[in-house]
Structures are given as structure tokens and as C-alpha cells.
Structure 1
């Protein structure tokens, strides 16, 4: 009797996190070995020594393969299979933890990584993913199915961050996805073996923004700590030569020299420096000097600088000393109708007719944060689209926290509020002073039509027309 043929056990499926890790490694190899061009399915199959049919099973997230194949695919791209990368299916196609799964699999907690196009799996597994239905506020987590991919932008920043001494400038108002993109950029950098530091400038004490020496020491201390290096500032800082030169030498001869791999430094919310022109001039000139040093200094080439901000620079900077006219500029656009429909599908909504997306976008445009808030309430709170639109500008409406944030900010800037009041009452695009336009654009309240300005969306126009007209009418009455 012939022995039975050996069979490979099937039952392992990729999770969204696992798919993102694998395809991120593929993207890195495409950049390094294929001039950034995507591998075909056949080319990937040849590299992994698996069939294109097997790859299709992997990408589906709901069709299983065997353990050996899964590990082989990861090892091809120098990845170690982790516990969060896979799920195991029993005979009823329900995921379970396998007791006899190879103990060589790494079960340590680890961070998932960046962007990849993961098709909607929410509809089929709604009950399994109820924990994902949290209120959408802040960056979209790396393993969330609700991140809207912008492949052209993600690939641009991934390509750029591997360039020695690069500068990447990401500009967009709040709620447009800057932080979500940065999370994916940092995760991609970590897959390359880079060190990463993500600093939010809004955390800097106010007294540091009036003293350049204190500011630079604060930043150097924080960066050293993030890199796991003893700051040792007192021994490494010589105020006799000036704080900018001390800072540069500290970076070059101490921090970067100790790192064998590139360091990605993200500076978030650098707009805060614009309110302190003297500090802004000196600090941004320093960043520009690091970029120029990297052209001929191997230590400085390790530094990959990412500057994140909301508004254009409205302080006067010397064009030859500014970091805002070098490097790769990234502008985050609004979502398209196709992207909104796809995101609605991920939330379990059938908007294939396009009419629902059109109605929502006529109110909020393609603003990512507002779209996410709307879909959350439509999907999780049982709200109808008609009710959502009718109650949109009410002080108790679903957008109230978003609108209040802008309203509070405008109240601290009376001159800007008065200018915006005139804009929302105009009912057409108008000309504004460039500095006023930059400030309103940084807040995210306007859009441009050539040289002319208009409110960002109908929601803003209607809400602020009501709020601002009440304020200025009351002031006029008091003046009389």
C-alpha cells in the first residue's frame, strides 16, 4: 500500500496588520531594486516561490494558506512573522488560536506598520471588529481599516525619506491627515532600520519660545532621550561659541555620530514658532544650514528631517536661510467622491449610487475629519443622512466639537474673525490680504479659487455666518 500523500495544513490567513507589514516590505524592495516600479503578481510569485493564485489568497484576507507558505513569503522580504500578522481558521472558517502552532513564531508585542491599500473587510466581519468603531478624533491608527490611502503621496514620502540628508515638508490644516501620514512614514522608516523621533512643538514650554538657547537645549535633550542616548548637555554645550553652533555640533558630533543608521526627525506643529518672529528666523535658518551641510558631510546625511505645519510661512524669512523652499513639499488634498464612497463601504454603507456621497460632500466637501465624523454617526449612532444634514450647524449637532474649536480660535483673533465674517456674508469668492488668507488657510477655514478666497465648505459658511453675524450685530448695537 502506498503511503498517503503528505498534505500541508491550510488555515492561516493574514490580518490587515500582517498584510500592511508584508506589502510595506515589498514597497521598500520596489524602491531599492526596481526604481520604484511595482512588481507584477507574477514577479512577486517568482520571488516568493509561490503561485499567483496563492498570492491572491493572501491578499484577500479571508482565504487561508498553510504555515510554511506564509513564513516563506515573509522571509523573502526579510520579515519575521509575528503573532499579530496572522489568524488561524478552524473548519467553520472562524479564527482561533492554534495550540500546536510553531513556537518559533515571535509572540512579543510589536508595533504594526504603515499604509497599504487594504480592501474593506468590515462588512463581512462586523461583529469581530466592533472595537474599531471609536469616535474618530486624532490620527488614524496603523491597523485601522478607515485610513484612506493616497498611494501617490505615500510612495513619494517613502522614496524621499531614504535619500541622504533629505527634507520633507508636509503642510495641511488640522483634520486633513498629516499625523496619520506621519505615523505611516515613521513605520516605513523603521522597516528600513532607521531610528525615529516624533516631536510635537506644541509641547514646548512658552518660556522656551522667547529664549533660543533654552529652546535648542530643550530640543536636543528630548531628541537624545528619544534615541536612548544620555543627553550629557552640560559637557557638550559651549555657550561661548553661540547656541546655534553648539546645537549643530551636538547633533553632528554626538547624536548622529553615535547612530549607525539614519535618524528620521519629525517636527510637528512648527507653526507655533511663527508667532515668535525672532525665534523663527534663527531656528529655521539653523534647519536650513543642516540641510546644506548634508550635501558634503556624511554625518549630516544620516538626518532625515520632516517638518509638519498647517499654514504658509507668514513671517519674513530670508529665501536663502529658509527650510520652506527646499526639499519635498507635500500638500494633502481633500478626499474625492470615489474615496468617500470607498470609505463608506468600509463602514458597512452601500453608497454605490453616488447620491449619498454627493449630498454629504455638498455640505462638508472632501474634508477627511468631517467625513469620518459623519460616517461614524451614520453607521454607529443610527442617524439618517437627511437628519445629519438638517442638524449640521446646530450647536448640539454632530460637528459641534469641530466647529467650536474653530469658533474659540476665531474669538481670540477679533480682526481675523471680522474678516471671515465679511467672507461668509459675501456669497462669492473675494480677494483677501495674503497674510490674512494664510492665517485663515492655516486654521482650515477657506479654500482658494486662483487669487480669490471662499469659505472651505457650506458647513463653515452657514455656521459662521450665523455665529459671526450675531457677535458683530451685538457689538454694533452696543456702540450705538
Structure 2
């Protein structure tokens, strides 16, 4: 007897991971090609070469589509369909899948928003996202719904990176979101067909930071390797003309000349050079010269330079040789109340009034990392906001590991201990050694209010005032022994 077609329903449905990956690429394309405006279902259907009815089935997550359709949808946004992006749907497991996903939506009865925003998805399916939450340590993943834009910063860097020979300077203390922004900038650059090179200056050997020739050769080797070019340094390096000129000629005539596409060179954590003033002056002067020569040199116009650092430069640099007064300056601010509320909503928290937002920000301000940690614990660890604040003020609470890391760094440097004692105890404007100020700011421990230097937030003031009460005594004891 011939089996009725209605008794077997086959097809593929998106997994949560697959939906997030596709949504992230759609959002990126909207920024690049649609001035940040959301695509309608009709726009997406045209791009994917599928009908809006098929898209409604796809977004419902409980109605199957064929593999060819899924591949079309993903390839339209430069993605390759992976096995973890979908699951197989059939009549025998349809009920089980629907219960597991908690998504028994009837696409004929319920239409999804044309904006395809993840907001409604997060709100309606809070439990589904719980297994995707991980402790917020490090940059926010490209496909994460927990990235918070800080307009107009993203738009500015996207617009600038397409300018020939540009320089972008991204400055903010640690854990303020510099790397998360760079991740998105590089993703945008790749969509333009540019070639990214991401250099972390903390990975450069200390021996290279006392020898300019070794430093520049190391940098050139890494750029060549990431571009897939055989470095051939010895064949293209002339010691007689000097290492800076050799580096410039190598970059222009050998590396950039071979690249048909622009190269985005990201230099992360350039603060490390500040500890080596002589090297810093020569190296930063070289970066400045590339920017100036790019106005006339076609090869150097292919270079798009992104410099990432934590604080103002305390090395004495000739204003005409410094790269810190050229290009587009970007300084990442703390989150606003609106942005904290938005992020809480993304975590599924119903903070419709600003009461909870104000309570949390009274403790940690708009510090992105500390806000993310708080929301993680509120959503995943079953504690209340009141408990979180009381415990944090008493002994560090959920922030104890974050605070311990800072405390360990302070203890390694007696002059920093002395400086921070003055900061947490000060009731009026104080002056600090510029180098100590630089280090405290790079750690994210201080902020400015006019000409006053203050602890970055109430959490730091309360915790370190208690800790530094002991440290001040120990520091004075050390001074007496010396």
C-alpha cells in the first residue's frame, strides 16, 4: 500500500547555532551594503533566490526545507553550510524536535518581523539561549547576540577602512571592547576583499624590542607569512641602507606590490613599545612616514593601518614623527544606561524600568566587562541583583578574580601601590607621575573627572580602599627598610 505523503515530513531545519551564524552575516551585510538598514524579507528572498514563503518556513525553525535551499541562503552571505548549522526533520522526530526547541510556531498563523531582528528571538526563547551562554572572558564573538554597538563608532571605522592609505587609532583601557571592535572591523574588511594581518605586540620577543633591525624583520616576516607570501627576507633586505628604509622598501616593493587587494595591518597592544622609548621613537616615526608617503605612492595606498592601544603615549615623541596625531581617532566610551538596558534585554532580563540599570551602574559604571559578568551571573547562577551588589562591596563577590588580577599587578610595583593609595584616598585633585598614571589607566583602574583622577568605579574604590589600607602600611615599611 502506498504510504501517504502526509505521514512523513522530511527536510532540514536551522539549529540555534546556524541561525545565529546566518543572522550575524546578514547584519554585517546590512551595514556594508544597506547603510545599516535592515533587509526586508523580499530583499533577502531576492539575494538568496528563494521565495518569502520559503524564508518564513526557514525562520520558523520547525518547518523543513531542502538542503539546496539552505545552501543558497548561506552562500548568499558568503557562508559555507556546516553540519552543525542544521538538523534533520522528519515526522517521527517532529514532535520531539518541537518540544526540544519550544518553537511550535505555525507560519501560516504567525508572521515574523521583516526586520529579522534577534531581539524577539531572544525574548521569546530565553531558555534556548541558556546553553549558549559562556563566561564572558575575552572578545565578544562575531556571531554573538551580546555585542553592543556604540554609535557612531562602528560606522566610522567601516567608512574609514575603505580609504586608501588610512590610519585608524583605537584607544581604550583594557576590557573596554577594543578587540571585539577589531574583530568586526576585520570581518568587514574581508567582505570588501581586503587581506587582514593581525599583529599582537605582546607576542614579540623582548630581544626584538631592544634591536630595531630584529623588530622590523620580525614584523615583515609575520606580515609576509599571513599574506601567504614567501618572506625571502635575506634577498630583499639591505643592511647598508638601514633597517627602516629596508623595511619600507620591502613592504612597498615586495609585499604590497604582490597584493592585488588592500592589506589591513592591525597592531594590537602597541603600549608595549612605550617601555622602550628609543625603539618607540624610531618605530612610530616609521609608521608616520608610511601614512605621509601613501598620499603619493600607489602601493602604500593599499596599506590600511589600525593601531590599538590602552592609554595616552607617555614616551616623548616629536609631534611631526608621531602616529598618534594622524588618521581617525577612536576612543571607546563606557556603556550608557540605554546600552546596559539593551544588553540586559538581550540576556532575557525584563528590566523595563531603569531601576536595575541604575543599581548595577552605581557599582561598576558602564564598564563593559563588569556589566557582562554581572548579567552572566544574574542569568545563569541564580543570584539577585541586590545580593550581587552587597557581596561585591563586602569582599569582591563575583568580581573577586577580576579584582585579584589587578591586585597582583599592583603588588608587583610599589610605586603603583603608592599612586593608587593616593587616588582612592584623595578628596581633591592630585598629581601623579605620568608613567604611573599611564599604567593605572592602561589597567582600567582610573578615570578622569575634569582635572581629577578617580577610581574607575565604586567597586574599585571600595575594594582597593580596603586592600590598600594594608598595602600603604606595607609600602611605608618597605621605604623605612630601604
Distance verdict in 2 for CA 1:430–1:121, change over 3 Å: farther
Match of 2:321 in 1: 321
Note the C-alpha offset of 1:26.
Answer: 3.0
Match of 1:229 in 2: 229
Match of 2:258 in 1: 258
Match of 1:26 in 2: 30
User: Is 1:344 matched with 2:321?
Assistant: no
Determine if contact 2:347/2:375 at 8 Å carries over to the other structure: yes
Distance verdict in 2 for CA 1:264–1:453, change over 3 Å: same
Residues 364-401 of structure 1 show CA distances to partners (whole Å, capped at 9, x for unaligned) of 00101011111112221222222211221555622122
Could you tell me how far apart the structure 1 residues matched to 2:477 and 2:410 are? 21
Match of 2:377 in 1: 377
Q: Map 1:16-415 onto structure 2 (within 5 A).
A: 16-30=20-34, 36=35, 38=37, 41=40, 44=43, 48=47, 79=78, 82-83=81-82, 87=86, 94=98, 118-119=118-119, 121-393=121-393, 397-415=397-415
Determine if contact 2:148/2:343 at 8 Å carries over to the other structure: yes
Range with bigger deviation, 214-223 or 442-451: 442-451
Note the C-alpha offset of 1:476.
Answer: 3.8
Could you tell me how far apart the structure 2 residues matched to 1:74 and 1:268 are? 32
Range with bigger deviation, 364-373 or 374-383: 374-383
Distance verdict in 2 for CA 1:80–1:317, change over 3 Å: same
Note the C-alpha offset of 1:430.
Answer: 4.4
Determine if contact 2:13/2:87 at 8 Å carries over to the other structure: yes
Unaligned residue ranges in structure 2 (runs of 5+)? 1-9, 101-115
Q: Map 1:453-472 onto structure 2 (within 5 A).
A: 453-472=453-472
Could you tell me how far apart the structure 2 residues matched to 1:59 and 1:452 are? 55
Residues 438-480 of structure 1 show CA distances to partners (whole Å, capped at 9, x for unaligned) of 3322221111112222111001111111111211124446749
Secondary structure of the structure 1 residue equivalent to 2:397: coil
Note the C-alpha offset of 1:420.
Answer: 1.7
Residues 163-218 of structure 1 show CA distances to partners (whole Å, capped at 9, x for unaligned) of 11111111111110111111111111111111111111001111111000011111
Determine if contact 1:146/1:346 at 8 Å carries over to the other structure: yes
TM-score by length of 1: 0.83
Distance verdict in 2 for CA 1:230–1:429, change over 3 Å: same
Could you tell me how far apart the structure 2 residues matched to 1:474 and 1:313 are? 31
Could you tell me how far apart the structure 2 residues matched to 1:377 and 1:439 are? 30
Could you tell me how far apart the structure 1 residues matched to 2:212 and 2:13 are? 56
Distance verdict in 2 for CA 1:401–1:266, change over 3 Å: same
Distance verdict in 2 for CA 1:228–1:94, change over 3 Å: farther
The structure richer in helix per residue is 2
Could you tell me how far apart the structure 2 residues matched to 1:89 and 1:306 are? 44
Secondary structure of the structure 2 residue equivalent to 1:82: coil
Secondary structure of the structure 1 residue equivalent to 2:196: strand
Could you tell me how far apart the structure 1 residues matched to 2:60 and 2:373 are? 27
Could you tell me how far apart the structure 2 residues matched to 1:186 and 1:49 are? 24
Note the C-alpha offset of 1:348.
Answer: 2.6
Distance verdict in 2 for CA 1:457–1:429, change over 3 Å: farther
Unaligned residue ranges in structure 1 (runs of 5+)? 1-8, 31-35, 97-115
Secondary structure of the structure 1 residue equivalent to 2:134: coil
Distance verdict in 2 for CA 1:43–1:290, change over 3 Å: farther
Could you tell me how far apart the structure 2 residues matched to 1:378 and 1:429 are? 37
Distance verdict in 2 for CA 1:369–1:170, change over 3 Å: same
Distance verdict in 2 for CA 1:63–1:309, change over 3 Å: farther
Could you tell me how far apart the structure 2 residues matched to 1:392 and 1:51 are? 52
Range with bigger deviation, 175-184 or 125-134: 125-134
Could you tell me how far apart the structure 2 residues matched to 1:286 and 1:148 are? 35
Secondary structure of the structure 2 residue equivalent to 1:15: helix
Distance verdict in 2 for CA 1:428–1:133, change over 3 Å: farther
RMSD: 3.4
Secondary structure of the structure 2 residue equivalent to 1:305: strand
Could you tell me how far apart the structure 1 residues matched to 2:140 and 2:168 are? 21
Determine if contact 1:22/1:74 at 8 Å carries over to the other structure: no
Note the C-alpha offset of 1:53.
Answer: 7.9
Could you tell me how far apart the structure 2 residues matched to 1:332 and 1:154 are? 11
